[in-house]
Amino acid sequence: MNAVVSKEIRLVSRPVGMPTLENFELAEVTMPDLAEGQILLCNRWLTVDPYMRGRMYDTKSYVPPFQIGEALQGGAIGEVVESRNDAFPTGTFVNHMDGWREYAITDGAMLQKVDPDLAPLQTYLGAMGMPGLTAYGGLLTIGQPKEGETVFVSAASGAVGQLVCQIAKLKGCRVVGSAGGKEKCDWLTEVAGIDAAVDYKACANQEELQAAVAAVCPDGIDIYFENVGGDHLITALNLANPWARFPMCGTISSYNAMEKPDGIWNLFNVIGKRIRMEGFISFDYIGMAEDFTRDMSGWIKSGDIKLKEDVIEGVENTPQAFLNLFTGGNFGKMLVKLD
């Protein structure tokens, strides 16, 4: 077998503020021969996710920072194309963290086999994977949705938000989502079936956003699923009902901030209204994985949950796919498809 050449995306400089294509470079590496116990993975799908922006800063967090000059990492679905490990025969599909590249060699540790019959391969990077567990765990564990309650979801057509919206509907809630632009809002109400959608890009300021959300939340907000921060969080604090729960999943509006963001000036609402704000990341819900996989695969198969994916082709376009996350340039779960 001829030596395999793999294209990969490397971080060449740490973004200051909004990342640009210049922060990344395409490189080629020749894959070495496999040692005993190793497998060669050919990636079929890559994912880009907002949390990766945090790893581009040189600061300690719950995951270590990316290193300059090295290939980036992230979730990927790979097919075993060569194997010296009996546990992973050729043709096996696995979910792993050596994304942003075409090929990867591994000894089989930290891999999860995925079943293409249970759900389409790429959904293991979305609804059936980390974003799905994030939505499922955060909404059900912190949000504790009850029938008839009102759930407000920001970034509602995004990878996590679209699932939160539809799980909340399945739990009998009134669901209101915010998204940027009419196309996304229409998808939310017409396809995902939520009760109302607010186009935040049509709101000139926080007051307008609040008025638009209030108009479709006549009974206030019982759960705010936070993906955005900033004006969305201020709005949710002002409109929250007593004993509201705020699963705090992300604050994408501040990920590229070069200065201190304006800040949340109305946290006093937390006290009088007894709001519970609680941060979480998907790892926290690994213990729910079995329930999650059963429920989510069932909902996808039954059509109770509709998936919106945004697919770009070619590893060389992974940086652009990533940048789209911060401009609202994506519509649905952002994925990169490789041949």
Asked if 274 touches a copy of itself (CB under 8 A), the answer is yes
Where in 206-245 is the site for a copy of itself (CB under 8 A)? 229, 233, 242
The pattern of x and - marking residues 21 through 60 that bind a copy of itself according to CB under 8 A reads ---------------------------------x------
The pattern of x and - marking residues 120 through 149 that bind a copy of itself according to CB under 8 A reads ------------------------------
Minimum CB separation from a copy of itself for residue 214, in Å? Answer: 15
Asked if 286 touches a copy of itself (CB under 8 A), the answer is no
Asked if 278 touches a copy of itself (CB under 8 A), the answer is yes
User: How far is Cα of residue 313 from the mean position of the Cα atoms in its chain?
Assistant: 19
DSSP per-residue letters across 73-133 = -B-EEEEEEEES-TTS-TT-EEEESB-SBSEEEE-STT-EE--TTTS-GGGGGTTTSHHHH
Location of structure tokens 């109305």: 266
The SS3 of residue 138 is: helix
Asked if 249 touches a copy of itself (CB under 8 A), the answer is yes
Nearest alpha carbon to residue 275 among 167, 170, 101, 142:
142
Asked if 65 touches a copy of itself (CB under 8 A), the answer is no
Nearer residue to a copy of itself within complex by CB, 2 or 205? 205
Selected from 22, 190, 262, 291, the binder of a copy of itself by CB under 8 A is 262
Minimum CB separation from a copy of itself for residue 264, in Å? Answer: 5
Nearer residue to a copy of itself within complex by CB, 193 or 220? 220
CA distances from 188 to 155, 195, 331 (A): 11, 9, 11
Asked if 268 touches a copy of itself (CB under 8 A), the answer is yes
How far is the first Cα of the chain from the last one, in angstroms, to the nearest whole number?
19
- Who's near 256: CB < 8 A, 6+ residues apart? 15, 17, 18, 19, 53, 326
Tokens, residue 259: 């200065």
Asked if 279 touches a copy of itself (CB under 8 A), the answer is yes
**Alpha-carbon distance 29 to 40, whole Å?**
14
What are the residues binding a copy of itself (CB under 8 A)? 54, 61-62, 229, 233, 242, 248-251, 254, 260-281, 284
